[in-house]
Chains A and B, each alone.
Chain A
Amino acid sequence: MIAAIKAPLIDWSALAPFTSLTVGAVVVLIAGLVGSARLRSWLVPGLALVTLAVTAVELLSRWNHPKVIVSEALRVDNLTVTLGLLCVGAAAFAVILSLRSDTEEGVGRGEYHSLLLFTTIGMLILIAANDLVTIFVGLELLSIPLYVLCATELRREHSLEAGLKYLIVGSVGSATLLYGLALIYGATGSTSLPKIGVAISDTGALTDPLLLAGMALAIAGLSFKASAAPFHQWTPDVYEGAPTPVTTFMATATKAAALGILLRILVGPLLPAVDDWAPVIAVIATLSIVVGNFGALGQDSLKRMLAWSSVAQVGYLLAGLVVATSLGIGALVFYLVVYAVMTLAAFAVVIENERTSDDGERLSGFAGLGRRRPWLAGAMTVSMLSLAGLPPTGGFIGKLAIINADASGGWMWLAIVLVLGSLVSLGYYLRVIATMWMTEGSAEKTPVVKQAREIVAVALLAAAVTIAAGVLPSWPLERAQDVGQTVISSR
């Protein structure tokens, strides 16, 4: 006789984004075993895109339906939906951008795409994490496939090294975070974020050195992943060494995931300790802005320049986090999305230029691009103007929102730092624009490589969205503030 057991209640619909991604990742891995190379070359990316599309739809359906699932391990709320969509979108564009790259044929199309999907699951779990254990598992699930992906550009001498370097630095970050989480658990006696929040506000444990040390280590650990200074040293090397589509994915999605969970921890259970962590974040933001902007000056490799610039951009984002109000978080989320879109445009152009020009990834490879391919150069121009924060782009509105939040929250000096940082950043962003439009040069490959329509389309789409976010920012900004509101009210 078989005894009936009481099965745990599982909300399948809320869990759907996670399950569908997992199933998709496995299916894609198996599809990679199909014998015919031609079949494989469209079947595998196709399946990956279908998986991501399904996940995106499932995520969208959870908008405004906050729910805590899997015995309080995951929280599917508006923050999860927004940043989850960002990561899923970034993964989809990474798939599209690597359609024509020959690298993944060497490592196996199935494995490449499967790893990409697994990383995306890790991001989703990390963003949705409602428990210290989930945070760690999500972070590692995000990181480990990414280490491998970084090393897949077998043609490039440095790719393997980049992978190993990323693994070492990333693991240091993970270990630091883990130790911080352990200390937080030690101080509060629970691994669940809401219970930690309750414990902190109940016992007034704010002066507990254990908690403060844990908080500092956790912030440091996540700063590694978000590549905020002074934990950024790996960024230029890894960005340069990794295959460019993977770099694109890292620059957009990994940052979003790391900042998302930082947001969830700091503005969630640790909000009572805001006076303790806000100065720390402000210092990290300042350092990132200074180090990133000065590091990017004079870089000749576009990928390295964008890596340094991404360090500075994280600084701008953290400047929004410092103000733990819905205004600040709204600005952060809005800018995060805009940042992802404009970075996508820039990297798409770099990928296309790498394919078609000799010196594609170097600045010199961009000489005369405005004459050769005005649309591509136009997309890059929009992206650079937006990253620099000039109107009429989303970057301008995003910076405006962050400055507004800082000024309202009494962090005026941070707003000034942000503004001065933007001024320095013109030094390298304008250099790219000047090289494309104002210098002669023909660096086309011989024989001429056929242009990749889908990559140009991605670049133009991203550039158009960047402009749209600058011209009609009301709707996305309001949604971003909704997200901020849910994060604050969820505690």
Chain B
Amino acid sequence: MNIGWYLAVSTIIFAIGAAGVLTKRNALVILLCLELMLNAANLALVAFSRMWGNGDGQIFAIIVMVVAACEVTVGLGLIVAIHRRGLVVDADELSELRG
């Protein structure tokens, strides 16, 4: 099977994730979209790994998963902390800080 198909799917997933981060307002959904972006990269890595016939890409992908989990943990932690303080978990509201 042509590598191009895998790449196309991964690009589409990456684009969906990026679009989601840019347009969605709920911080939770944004975190989900971030995961999409990372996993798009994982798909590409694994596909390339298969293409080149070496394991580098797979190792990379596994490490990315671990790191992504850490990132989400911190993100969720922050969201919980914000929620506890009675603030709104809404990206637009967040920008009480301008910019």
Q: Which residues of A contact B (CB under 8 A)?
A: 132-133, 136-137, 140, 143-144, 147-148, 151, 158, 160-165, 167-168, 171-172, 174-176, 178-179, 181-183, 185-186, 189-191, 233-234, 236-237, 240-241
Contact = CB atoms under 8 A, between A and B. Distances in A.
A228 to B, nearest CB: 16
A190 B56 contact: yes
A136 B54 contact: no
Contacts of A183: 44
Nearest to A165: B94
B95 to A, nearest CB: 7
> Which 10 A-B residue pairs are closest in the complex by CB-CB distance?
A175-B37, A237-B97, A186-B48, A189-B52, A182-B44, A178-B41, A179-B41, A191-B56, A140-B67, A164-B78
B48 A237 contact: no
Given A179-B40, A179-B44, A165 B60 contact: no
11 contacts: A136-B67, A158-B96, A164-B79, A165-B94, A171-B75, A172-B18, A179-B41, A182-B45, A185-B56, A191-B57, A237-B99
A379 B7 CA distance: 54
A175 B38 contact: yes
Given A164-B75, A172-B21, A182-B60, 16 more contacts: A136-B60, A136-B63, A160-B85, A161-B82, A161-B97, A163-B78, A165-B94, A167-B75, A168-B21, A168-B30, A168-B31, A168-B34, A182-B57, A236-B97, A237-B98, A237-B99
Interface residues of B, number: 46
Contacts, number: 123
Given A136-B64, A161-B96, A164-B94, A182 B48 contact: yes
Contacts of A237: 95, 97-99
B74 A189 contact: no
Interface string B19-51: 001000001001100100110110011011001
Contacts of B81: 151, 160
A158 B82 CA distance: 10
Contacts of B56: 133, 185, 190-191
- Of A137, A143, A172, A182, chain B has the most CB atoms within 10 Å of the CB of A182
A133 B42 CA distance: 12
A40 to B, nearest CB: 23
A168 B56 CA distance: 28
Contacts of A133: 56, 59-60, 63
